[in-house]
Copies of this chain bind each other. A is one copy, B any other.
């Protein structure tokens, strides 16, 4: 396999990139100044060394604990539960939220063999207890898996004093949180409802 085919094969393994798109990207990189390919190569090879998971909230960060967990100006009694690290970024960009985060690392999906024990739910319960959280906001995708996970967490938190809310409708049902626009997301944060 030659160098172009090799690059095309690697790029086609990315989500949403088919063979044709991968070819287009590979030829674009080949025709762009050589410095672009080199800079991208460096960014990729150093990525996993620069980024780790925050030992408190589980999101990707360069420092542990992450800047959000150590920010004294944020409301430490408000905890937003998200599926993945990139959802933290999406919610931060809505500029509507000033509390902390907890990354589950996935959603309950029995058909895929993912149960509550595979997710950071135990550490969530411990945080709610130890950090005296007054409100847990469940910001999971409005899908079957997201709703199942929200209900499960709500049940586990029932005997604790924290209020449990979820994002308001406004997100298109069956959609993906990552692709919501800033305003829709801000509105659904503002209109969150008690479960």
Residues on A close to B: CB < 8 A?
2-4, 6-7, 10-11, 13-17, 20-21, 23-25, 27-31, 34, 36-48, 50-51, 60, 62, 84-86, 89, 178-179
Contact = CB atoms under 8 A, between A and B. Distances in A.
A51 B7 CA distance: 12
Given A28-B14, A179-B20, A38 B34 contact: no
Contacts of A23: 86, 89, 178
Number of copies: 2
A84 to B, nearest CB: 7
A141 to B, nearest CB: 14
B30 A37 contact: no
Nearest to A15: B28
A50 B89 CA distance: 38
Contacts of A36: 10, 13
Nearest to A89: B23
A44 B44 contact: yes
A3 B47 contact: yes
B7 A43 contact: yes
Q: Give me the 3 closest cross-chain CB pairs, A-B, nearest first.
A: A3-B50, A41-B45, A41-B44
Contact of A44 (B21, B29, B50, B178): B29
